């Protein structure tokens, strides 16, 4: 009986720890305290410059300094297939719940699929995605200024 009680306590503790960590991560998206602005991005509609619907923002990925590096865009390729793509945050211009991406549907479909935040922490992978969307990685701009 004690094993069952211990198991239930352990599962409850792990679930609670996950919920707290996830909540804390959501609140710490930006170190400068602008979490409310980041939260407004979730679910924002993304369109091309020609006005075609591209998808919605499903998540954001920050760099080690707390700056938003990527928006994770979710879009449907068919009735039963949804894809996720990492888009450099600098490639988007957002106003309220609408964002404009400086690319069309073809570029989005051909873009590398989003796999994980860990993949985006590899500098070459992150830089390749930025360049694919025609944006210079912000961390290389800062190095050039030094």
User: How far apart (Å, rounded) are the C-alpha atoms in residues 120 and 74?
Assistant: 16
- Sign, CA dihedral 62-63-67-73, equals negative
Q: Answer yes or no: are the C-beta atoms of 12 and 67 closer than 8 Å.
A: no
Give the pLDDT of residue 2. 55
123, burial (CB in 10 Å: exposed 0-12, middle 13-18, buried 19+): exposed
Q: Do both 23 and 56 map to the same domain?
A: no
**pTM confidence score:** 0.68
110-136: average pLDDT: 89
Per the structure, the complete domain to which residue 89 belongs is given by: 35-145
Q: Do both 91 and 76 map to the same domain?
A: yes
pLDDT tens sequence across 32-86? 444 546 677 888 999 999 999 999 999 999 887 788 899 999 998 888 888 999 9
Give the pLDDT of residue 121. 86
Domain of 111, CATH number, reads 2.30.30.240
């Amino acid at each position: 009986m004690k094993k069952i009680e211990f198991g239930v306590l352990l599962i409850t503790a792990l679930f609670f720890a996950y919920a707290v960590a996830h909540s804390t991560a959501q609140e710490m998206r930006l170190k400068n305290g602008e979490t409310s602005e980041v939260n407004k991005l979730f679910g924002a509609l993304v369109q091309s410059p020609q006005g075609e619907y591209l998808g919605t923002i499903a998540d954001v990925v920050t760099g080690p300094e707390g700056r938003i590096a990527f928006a994770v865009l979710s879009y449907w390729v068919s009735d039963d297939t949804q894809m996720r793509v990492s888009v450099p945050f600098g490639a988007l211009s957002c106003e309220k719940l609408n964002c404009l991406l400086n690319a069309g549907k073809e570029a989005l479909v051909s873009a590398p699929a989003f796999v994980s935040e860990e993949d985006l922490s590899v500098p070459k992978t992150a830089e390749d995605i930025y360049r694919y969307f025609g944006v210079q990685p912000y961390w290389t701009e800062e190095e050039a200024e030094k």
